[in-house]
Amino acid sequence: MSLDEKKSPDEISQTVSDASEPNHLETLDKLEILPQMLQEGILFAGAGSALLLQAAFPGIRNRTHDHNEGSSSSDSSNLAKDLGDALQANLSYIACLVFGTSDEKKTLLDLSNQGKPPLKGSENFSSHRPTQLWVAATLYATATDFYQRIYGRVNYRTAEKAYAEFTVMMHAMGLPPGTWPENRQLFWQYWDDQIEQLTVTADAHRFAQDLLQRTDYPGWVSVTKPVLRAMTIEMLPPRIREAYGLKSTFGTRSLYRTTMGFSVAVYPALPGSTRGYPLRYYLEELRKNMNVV
């Protein structure tokens, strides 16, 4: 099924209602739109801007402080570690819930329900719903934004279906019903309100410098780091970008436009194994921590 294929309002409503069921496994096995969108590894190119939006969330440092009490590390270091760990955990869980086997999905959900997530990170924010919601929202917003920059705008019904499926996944990952906005209109209202409230603190500013300068990334990230840096800068809302002291220059704009032009023209024609490598990387990292036969 192509992304442009229309779905009936009843089908869309059914997916949303499924999100409230205690057992999400059957629903996750029936996802249709998200597997097509999230198989594109290029979606993870928006992770940098997602992290900076998370770091500017009001009170985010207090959440990391709560989970690092007694640590001698600086607050910005704690912020960098916690947000980085949470990003890897969330991306790995999403990869598993969309592309893993039924046994892998069941194992992940069972471990999460037992309070024993296989990767450290996401639990840092799970006890604070507003922060957990914002972390999830940045992943949805940057992923769908980047997908449409490459493949063009999806039609209304497809966008509704994708959002309903993402809602199912968010509930499976621990967000209780009623926390995640029930439709896209409410989501973007929430998004706009939160963007206006973001504040780049000194800790967040140092985190941004660490994020853009660190060298201990996976090999595929290190190779594309200049491109990812330009994308991160150009994808941020102007007010947030300026607050971080990041400059949209002729160089970053040129690299961004060149990359996007290449991506639109060439990327869809690349083999699926090439496009999906980042996704497989995160899924394999999770499999190392789950004992699934």
pLDDT digits 0-9 by tens, 234-291: 999 999 999 999 999 999 999 888 888 877 777 677 777 777 777 888 888 899 888 7
Give start and end residues of each alpha helix (H) in 114-155: 123-126, 129-151
Cα-based distances in Å from 153 to 19, 170, 184, 224, 276: 25, 23, 15, 26, 21
pTM: 0.82
Cα separation, 166 vs 223, whole angstroms: 30
| Domain boundaries defined on the chain | 9-216+272-287
DSSP 189-203: HHHHHHHHH----HH
Segment 181-211, tens digit of pLDDT: 999 999 999 999 999 999 999 888 888 888 7
User: What local confidence, expressed as pLDDT, does residue 73 receive?
Assistant: 46
